[in-house]
Every structure is written in structure tokens, then in C-alpha cells.
Structure 1
Amino acid sequence: MTTSTDPQAYLAAVVGRLTGPNAPFELVEEDVRGAQMPVMRHRNHAVHELLTASRAYGDRDYLVTETRRMSFTEHADAVAALAQALADEHGVGVGDRVGILAANTIEWVVAFWATQSLGAIAVGLNGWWVPREIEHGVGLTTPRVLIADAKRAAVLAQTDVDVPVLTMEEDVPRLIEAHRGAELPTADVSEDDPAVILFTSGTSGKPKGALHSQRNLLAVVDYHRYNDALLDAFAGREYDPARPSDLRYLLTSPLFHIASLHNLVVPRLATGSAVVLFEGAFDVDRVLALVEREKVTNWGAVPTMAARLIEHGNVRKYDTSSLTAFALASAPSSVAFKQRLRDEVPFAKDSLVDSYGLTECSTGIAVASPMDVQMFPGTLGRPIFGVAMEIRDPFGEPVADGDEGEVCVRSPYVMLGYWDNPEATASSIRDGWLHTGDFGRVDDGRLRLTGRRSDLILRGGENIYPTEIEQCLDEHTDVVECVVVGEAHEDLGQEVAAIVVVRAGATVSEEELRAFAAERLSYFKVPTRWRLTTEPLPRNATGKVSRGQITF
């Protein structure tokens, strides 16, 4: 048998061997919550099944930090103990919410898996929220218990939240020790039962909780397993699902985002890979020293982190030869920026990947390979395995290739909906298709975005909707009206800018408004550019502010 020298033909043959009848990733058409779509025949049906299977990886590294190391066995033991404590002492069971509010740490991961073993819903609260935002998130999801680090526990003490709080520094280790030796609970859950709530900003001005199912997380796991199988095929190895992966993944983004939780911590428990978890504020030297020490092979970073690498100017003093996969995610970056990154950062030259995804989709929608980044600059690649994507006009009809429209997707990765928000869910998911609110076009199968969710600001990987900030500023007695927009920023992608119309005779200053906002909003939402005026904002015929006419 001869092997085709045509890369596309060879790829098609490999995909056929992996996804055809009786193959490890055989695809079949099934009904998923009322919509027919391809799913994998051989799949798990409960997230906690991954925990039970992970014991087979024994003493291999699962979680690694600068100062700690936890094997798969140690992790499974800790999860079983904490799960038993949550059930016995706090009554946590199937469908209950468990809030997690903390910076990246091993205990965050253990708390997440303990929740999954009980069939409860892990609520990843944004660790950068201020008290008012925390009150909203907790009030919306009504967790039975909150697990927080000491810093966030102190913030919780300043709120009206009336929920038991367990600290990661004292309570979690105490509970694990008290219940050491417990058997891992295995709750009875179905594929489309909820598993996780992660927050995404909403146009209503309040963060919305994207509700992900057991199926969503497990489909993401199978997507990553499939990618590993593709790598094996191209390396000339036979795929063996029982063989642990020797890849080592660097985690630098917050665990309350899908990039770190759904697409790193969860699938790597299933593949036996090490997760090298960076703790604390991003620091290039500490990160690269960790890459060198732990022989990191894969890293997904937000563009702001990549910009720090360029600014560092001395990346080459570290041995990063192990790093062969480097991806940009969570925020857009320019063609010029990606080229500069490839030119100035050695490990990005031949490995840079770009992607497009949403919290609502659990994982990426489209991925641009290193070849796409180099040969088709500005595109975000083709839809990933399992994603059906259409570009639709305002009437919901698909448009021709090359025409602009709204990006709509259907897949087993798409969320169940927004927690306790049926109106927003019905608006976003129609007939099984998620309407992203993003606009783009498809050229030769590759997606190119032309507009991001109308008014959305993307600052350093964080999604910011102006409405929330505008509503906050409107609370100030000297503010008549205001508009918040995103302004281009070389490092962060965009920065938050505010034009504020103040009442006649008011003496309020930019500094006062900044302090007012900082008390009510996360630091990354507080405007860094301001213009105070007494002139009314420009509006269109329907009375809406004409953001396109807003300039500094």
C-alpha cells in the first residue's frame, strides 16, 4: 500500500481511519436535545467517569506548580476526600451548585473535580470581580457552598452573601485529611445534565452564566483525544487510547475561563498529560523558567501575554526547545502582531496557531493552523472537528461564500443555555443553532471575522460589554449620560474609553469618576481614557446612541 504525497489526500485518509465504522472516533448521527448532529459512538456519559479512569495513570504528574507536584493518584484521593466532605458536611448532591472563587491553584482544580464526582454543578466565579459583581453571581446561581482562597474570602466578608465559605488554605486541606481514604462518589447523571456554569458578559449589562452539560465537557475531551490521535498518525504511531500522553501543557489563563478549564484541566486528566499551572500575576521570566524546568510542550496564551514575550527581548536566554505548540486564544490579534511574534519569539516561528471560540461553545469554533497563519493571514482557519458553521443573513438564511453575515454554529459543544435566563437562551439558541452575534465571512472554507458582537470590547483576553460600565457610571449624580467604547491598544488589543456628559455646573473630575467605577467594577472594566463634556451624545433616528460617530 502506498502513501499519498498529497497532504490533503493523506489527511482525508487518516481522518477516515479514525472516524469511520468501528474506528476509535466513529461518528454517528443522533438526536441531541432536539437537533440531529454527528456525535462519537464510543464516548463517556458522565464527567466523573474520567476521574475513575485517571487512577490508571498512577504516579505520573497531573498538576505541577513552581513549588508543588500532584500525581494522578494523589489527585484522585484528594478529590474523593473533599467530595465526601462536601456531601456529608454540606449536603451537596446532584444538581446543587458549588461556587469556586479563587486565583489559579491546585485546590481550584480539586474543588472542581470533587463537585463533578457528586453530580453537582461547579460555578466558576470570576476571581477579579468586586463585591457587587460577586453578589450578582452568587445570587444568580445560589450555591450551597463557596470554596474560596483567602483573598476572595476576605472580599466575600464585605458582601451580603449568606453562603458557607470554605477556604482553600485551611478548610480544604483540613477536610481532605479528615476524610482521607474515602471512596470516590459516582453520582447518577445523564449526558445532558448540567455540569458547569462559567460567566460571560451580557448585553443586558450583567454577567450571564453559560450552563455547560456533561455532554459538552466530554465532547471537548473527545475532540482533544482526536487531535492527539491525529498527531500520532502524522508521527507514524498507532493510536492507543490507554497510552498516557507525554505532552506537558502550560496553564496561564484563569481557571474560570473555558481555555483553562474545559480545554486543558479536564481533557488532560483523560489523556494522562501534565498540567503545569502558573500561579500569580503573569511574569515572563517566571513563565519561561517554568517552561524550561518542566519541559513544557504546549502553551495557549492570550495576545497580551504574547506581547509581553516580544517586549521582554531576551526570550532566547531560556531553553524553550521543548515548546512545539503555541496558540493564541481569547482575543483577536492583528496580522502584523502575529508576524512580529513569529519573527521575534523562537518557539512561535513554526508553531503559532490562532483560534476563534466562545464561552457558549465550550471550546473553539475554528482554528487556524501554523500554515493558515502563514499563508492565509487574517483568517481564523476552518471549523474544528464536530462543528457545523453557517454564515447567515438577518433573516436566518445561509449566505454564499465570501458574503458577510452572522456566524452561527451547531455542535455537541454548544451550551445548554444561560442559567436562569430563558429569554437570553431563546434569543441565542434557535433550532439547535447558536447565533454568536459575531459577523464574518467564509473564504475557501476559512473563517474571517469582520465584526465582533457589535459593541463588545476585548481587552487582554477579557470580554467587556459597554452597557455594564455605562449603567454603573449612570449611577453617579453628576452624570447625565455616557457611552463606553473600545479604543485600539497595542498591548491589550483594546482599552476601555468613556465619553461622559456631565450636568451643567458639575465639578466632577475624571479622577473621581475613575474611583467611582473602580469601587463597583473589576479593574479591567474601569475606563482608562475619558472625555468629559456637556454636549449631548449623537443619536440615530430611533434614539439610540450612534457609537460609530463617537471619537476622541
Structure 2
Amino acid sequence: MPHAASPASASPASAGDPDATARIAAELTAPGAPFAVVRGEQGTLVYEGGPRTLREFVETTWALGDRPFLIGGERSYSYAEFFAAASSLARRLTGTYGLRPGDRAVVAMRNHPEWQIAFWATQLAGLVSVPLNAWWTEDEFTYALDDCAPRVLLVDGERLPRVAAWRARTGVRAVVFHADDDGSPAGEGIERYEDLPAPDPLAAPPEVEVRPEDDATIIYTSGTTGRPKGAVATQLAQIGAAVNPRFHAAVSALGRGLFPGQGPAPVQLMTFPFFHVAAFTSFYATMAAGGTVVLMRAWDADEALRLIGRHGVTHYAGVPATALQLLDAAERAGDGLESLRMLNTGGAAAPPDLVARLTARHGERIEPRNGYGLTETSGGVTANFGADYRRHPGSVGRPTPVTEVRIAGPAGEELPDGEVGELWLRGQSLIRGYWRNEAATAAAFTDGWFRTGDLAVLREGRVSVVDRIKDMVIRGGENVYCVEVEAALHGHPAVEDAAVLGVPHPVLGEEVAAVVRLRPGAGVTVEELRAHVGRSLAAFKVPAHVLVSEEPLPRNATGKILKRELRGPVGDHVARD
């Protein structure tokens, strides 16, 4: 694994150096440096040193022994306990179950510590891990299970009824975690994890061959516009996703005048669902640093504040909406964020006022961080943090060393800095394609470049995402980027959440509409909101229709607003407006 930068490989930045991030990144990725980059066999950039499979990656942490690793409610695991459990389960999967490298293994449960035991057991066994969305319905599970055809199901008791019919039809065996302890028999083909033999602390993982080019994971897209697709990442791709946050941690430390690895190991509060790639990025980073991950059963801002105080949490990871709620809860409680050193958001666009609020309250003590990533990139492939983030709050930052960025025009031509086009990506952490879906793969990739479907602009090496191509509103021939209007609405102190979308117009083609949820007790009129937007944006971008919602805006499990569910209420509102 690329190691922490030494004084010989990179030097800390001086205060106020606006070019520090780019300079430090160049030093860390130079030939012979800790994060040196080369062209791989497929023509993409890859990290030159370090592990090549997730099994190799996790082996570097086995020596951490009794250091606390996972805390979920009253259950906790040290590194030694965790990997003994994962190794023992891996041996059962290959021995008792007869699974072989390349077989698919589904993991479907809420954020229990045992989710990670199940996932890493599959990796130690050389299997292809298929983490499924824990909040899916039975029909959604059935679709994905038919698609990926797993050999084993690793599920919790809550998910078991939703996969029971599929399992009965196929005969695929299951291991059930957190099953109801009612004394009833497990059932044919089902084992309760709690009934398995206690993990052997000396058990080594099964001896299997795992190669960098082997498939590591199939992670299904969120399916906001259609059926989810299985995004297939190789072992080498997941290693790229695992090393990227360590690179960013090194740049961040050096940018603050520190050397990487100084100080206590991080304690992270994990609020991303484990099946989401943002959780992979955050988990890899904490594991590689020998840190501790604190879990929540369900999101609650006041409970998050309590956990931060109880466990001395230093790093927060979650979608922007929960981060804003955490800041609100801290203000109500008179803070409670004394231990926090980093607030990291992902999974959805972060409103620019998030970093402004954090800085106004805490100065530079808590480092803000955001970035950009997709299921297809296996995690974050750009990052914006620290002083760079404060200066450029509307950007998702610079690409990782193993990610190439192109802003493409309609014909795929590369556009110059400052022009808006489709964001194309190429690099180590990108998927090889969609599972058994050649048509979707061909539509998404052009000459090795992944077409994200996002509109973005590149300025001085920094990426700013302005909208989804499908979400952009074309009003009378003028392009209106919903993200820009949403950011303006978020800037009003009365607005808790906002979504912008286009509605049909007989003359203009489309008109701009917005749905907002106000903060409790806030008193503001629609005209005041429109005037607020008009002070920072051109008149044609100001929403012609504003619907004030009494309910939280609909979001999927990864924090993205489901605009399709807003179109009906917005259409009704426009008809009455």
C-alpha cells in the first residue's frame, strides 16, 4: 500500500499558499514518491506500488490486534476479532458451502458490524461481493437476484422475508445475521450466523488465488431513471478506490503543515449505508489509517451528536442533508462537536453554504471535505477539502492521481477550460462495465472513457458539476442548471431543503419550478424566495413556480432527491398557480 509521505517525499505547505494542493499532489505522485502513478496495461493511470487486490489491502491491517475497529450499538469488534470472524466465515463459504473464486455472494443488511464481516469474508474467499440496497422491496430484490445469480445470500433478519420467495425458488443457501432469537429452527438451507462455531482467532483465510483483473464487486446503480444496473469493479479498480482517500489524507495533512500519520487514529461516525460507494471510500480510509468506525442504526441528528461526544468522533461522513442537520443539532445543543476534526459529505451535491456555516462556527478547526463519485467510479474520484474548499465551495475539487477528466462537447470533442460539457472519466477505479448488459456498457463508454451524464466545467484543474444532462432546464433557448438555482435557494436562511426541475411551457418550452422545505418556524413568502434567487442569478433562472412542501423531500437511500416523485405535485401546483 502506498505509505505515508515522508519529509523526503513531500513538504508541508506554508499558511496561505493558494497553490499548495496542486504542488503537494505533484510531489506525492512523482516517480519514486509514495503515490507514484504509471500507465497500466489497459492504458489507464494506476498507482505503481502497493496492493493489487482487496485481500492484500486488508492483510496490512491484521497486525492492529486489539485496537478498536467497529462499534455498533453495544457490540464492538477489535481488528483481531473482526478478521478472525471474517476469516472463519470465509473458510466456511469455501469449505462447507463449496464456493469458488468468481462465485457471487449477496450481502443485504442494514449497517450492522456484521455487514463488514460478511463483505470481507467474501473477499478473503475470492468471491464477487454483491452488496444490495437494504431498503429495496421484495420485487427489487428479486430483480437483482435474478440478474446476478448468487451462490449464497448473507442477509439479516429484516431482509430474509424479502428474499425468501426467491431463495425457495432457487434453493440458494443463506446465512442470516441478527435473526430473531425465538428458538425456531433456521429452516432448510438457512444457517443463523449466531449459531455457527465461534471464530477461531488463529484461523487463516482460505488459500485461494485472487488476481487484480478478477471481478471484486457488483454494485447496483440507484435506478433513479430505470432498472438498476450491476456495475462490475475489478480488484484493481477497488484498490484504486481504496488508495484514493489515503492520497487525499496525505495531501490534506501536508496542506495543514503536518506530516501524514501524525496524531491519533481517526474515529469516524459512518452514516452512509454500507452498500453505497461513498461508504466504501470512507471505510477504506479509516481502515487504512487503523481507525475506528462508529455505526448508527438509523439517522438521527441528536443521536449522532451523542455518539460524537461518547466516542470522541473525529471524522464525520454522510450526505449533505444529514451534515446540515448535524450542524443544526449542534447549535441547538450549544455545540458538542469539540472532538470533530473533519466533516466529509458525498452522495449528493453539497450546497455552498455548508462550508460557510461550518467555517463561521468553527473557523479552520474542522476541515470540510466533499467530492464527486458514482457507482461506476467505485467511490470518490475528485476531492475538495480544507482551504481549497473554502475558496471554491461550488467545486467538487481536483481529480485523483489515477483519474483523467475530459469535458466533452456534443461530438465527444474536448472542450477548453471554462466551457460546460459532459463530464467524461477514465482511470483505475472505474468499472469494467455492467453485469451481463453489453448494450448499457456500450452506451456508457466511448474509447475507454465513461460518460457520466453530468454537465460540468473545468477551471484551473478543479471540477464543478452544474447539472445532470437529463435535469437541465432549457427555457426559451437558455440553459438553466438546476444545481445553480438549488444552491441559491439553499443560501436563504429559511430554506432547509430545495429541488429545482423543469415544467412544460407552451411558449418557452420549459419553465423553472422549485420545491422547498422551510426550517421549522421560518416565515418567508414565495416572492421573497424568488427575490433572493434574483439577487444572485439572471431573471430567466428565477423559479416561476415555487411549491412549499410540508414534508421532507423524497430521497433514495443514498441521499439523492427523487425528482420524478416531485413532478406530480409540482404539476398540480403549476395548474393552480
* Smaller-chain TM-score bracket: 0.7 to 0.9
Q: How does 1:50-449 map to 2 (within 5 A)?
A: 50-157=57-164, 162=170, 163-170=172-179, 171-177=192-198, 181-202=202-223, 205-234=226-255, 246-260=265-279, 262-278=280-296, 280-312=297-329, 314-317=331-334, 319-336=336-353, 338-340=355-357, 342-343=359-360, 346=362, 351-449=367-465
Q: Is the 8 A contact 2:406 2:414 kept in 1?
A: yes
- When residues 272 and 316 of structure 1 are mapped into structure 2, their CA distance, relative to the original with a 3 A threshold, is same
Contact 1:66–1:290 (Cα < 8 Å) also in 2: no
* Aligned residues of 1:192 and 1:213 also touching (Cα < 8 A): yes
| Distance verdict in 2 for CA 1:118–1:20, change over 3 Å | same
Q: C-alpha separation between the residues in 2 aligned to 1:434 and 1:68? A: 41
Report if the CA contact (8 A) 1:149-1:168 is conserved.
yes
AA paired with 1:324?
R
Query: Structure 1 residues 83, 451: closer, same or farther in 2, change over 3 A?
Result: same
Kindly tell me: are residues 532 and 244 of structure 1, through their superposed partners in 2, closer, same or farther at Cα, counting changes over 3 Å? closer
Partners of 1:244 and 1:351 in 2: how far apart? Answer: 15
Structure 2 contact 13–254 (Cα < 8 Å) conserved = no
Q: Can you give the 5+ residue segments of structure 1 that lack an aligned partner in the other structure? A: 467-484, 493-521, 536-548
Taking a change above 3 Å as real, the CA distance of residues 298 and 186 of structure 1, as seen in their structure-2 partners, is farther
1:398/1:93 CA distance change after superposition, 3 Å: same
Structure 1 Cα separation of the partners of residues 377 and 22 of structure 2: 26
Distance 1:339 1:491, change over 3 A: farther
Matched-pair contact (CA < 8 Å) for 2:244–2:381:
no
Residue 37 of structure 1: CA displacement?
3.0
AA aligned to 2:209 is D
Q: Does 1:19 align with 2:29?
A: yes
Name the CA distance, whole Å, in 2 between partners of 1:447 and 1:11. Answer: 14
Secondary structure of 1:249 counterpart: strand
CA contact (8 A) 2:45 2:403 kept: no
Q: Residue in 2 aligned with 1:517?
A: none
Decide whether the 8 Å contact of 2:248 with 2:383 is kept in 1.
no
8 Å CA contact retained: 2:268, 2:291: yes
> What are the Cα deviations for residues 496-530 of structure 1, in whole angstroms up to 9, with x where unaligned?
xxxxxxxxxxxxxxxxxxxxxxxxxx998693674
In structure 2, C-alpha distance between the alignment counterparts of 1:143 and 1:126, rounded to whole Å: 15
Cα deviation, residue 422, structure 1: 1.1
User: 2 CA distance for matches of 1:427 and 1:365?
Assistant: 21
Q: Which amino acid aligns with 1:249?
A: Q
Distance 1:408 1:4, change over 3 A: closer
Shift of the 90–487 alpha-carbon distance from structure 1 to 2, 3 Å rule, reads: farther
* Structure 1 position 190, deviation (Å): 1.5
CA drift of 1:155 comes to 2.2
| Superposed CA offset, 1:259-312 (max 9, x none) | 11x21223433331111122x221112111111121111112212212323543
Q: Are the aligned partners of 1:138 and 1:161 in contact in 2 as well (CA < 8 Å)?
A: no
The aligned counterpart of 1:488 is: 515
Does 331-340 or 417-426 show the bigger shift? 331-340
- Alignment partner, residue 508 of structure 2: none
Q: Aligned partners of 1:374, 1:110: CA distance in 2, in Å? A: 38
Measured after TM superposition, the shift of residue 120 of structure 1 is 0.4
Q: Matches of 1:390 and 1:524 in 2, distance apart? A: 26
Kindly provide the CA deviation profile for residues 41-86 of structure 1, in whole angstroms up to 9, marking residues without a partner as x.
2121221112322211111111112312211111111011111111
Report how far residue 449 of structure 1 moved.
2.1
Q: CA 1:65/1:390 → structure 2, altered by over 3 Å: closer, same or farther?
A: same
- Relative distance call for 1:447 and 1:488 in structure 2 (3 A) is farther
Answer yes or no: is the 8 Å Cα contact 1:402–1:442 preserved in 2.
Answer: yes
Q: What secondary structure sits across from 2:40 in the alignment?
A: strand
Q: Report percent identity of matched pairs.
A: 29
Work out whether residues 345 and 371 of structure 2, in 8 Å CA contact, stay in contact via their aligned partners in 1.
yes
How much does 1:98 deviate?
0.6
Match for 2:282: what amino acid? L
Give the distance between the partners of 2:342 and 2:178, measured in 1 at CA.
Answer: 34
| RMSD between superposed Cα atoms in Å | 3.6
Give structure 2 stretches of 5+ with no counterpart: 1-7, 180-191, 473-481, 487-498, 502-511, 520-558
**Superposed counterparts of 1:470-481, under 5 Å:** none
Q: Which amino acid is the alignment partner of residue 116 of structure 2?
A: V
| 1:197–1:209 Cα contact (<8 Å) kept | yes
Q: Give CA deviations for 1:149-180 in whole Å, capped at 9, x if unaligned.
A: 11111222355653322211252232352767
Opposite residue 200 of structure 1, the aligned amino acid is T
Q: CA, structure 1 residues 108+233, in 2 after alignment: closer, same or farther (shift >3 Å)?
A: same
Cα distance in structure 1, aligned partners of 2:459 and 2:23: 24
Match of 2:48 among 41, 63, 73: 41
1:62 aligned counterpart, secondary structure: strand
Return closer, same or farther for 1:281/1:453 CA change in 2, 3 Å cut-off.
Answer: farther
Counterpart-to-counterpart distance in 2, 1:489 and 1:213: 41
SS at the partner of 1:212?
strand
Relative to structure 1, the CA distance from residue 215 to residue 404 in structure 2 (aligned partners, 3 Å threshold; closer, same or farther) is same
Counterpart CA distance in 2 for 1:440 and 1:212 is 24
SS in structure 2 at match of 1:441: strand
**SS of aligned partner of 1:206:** coil
Aligned length, in residue pairs? 479
Structure-2 separation of matches of 1:233 and 1:114: 35
Partners in 1 of 2:449 and 2:212 — Cα distance? 19
Distance 1:532 1:333 in 2: 23
| 1:252 partner letter | T
Which residue type is aligned with residue 146 of structure 1? L
Using the alignment, how far apart are the partners of 2:363 and 2:108 within structure 1? Answer: 33
Show CA shifts across 1:231-276 (max 9, x none).
4545666557xx996111211010000111x212234333311111
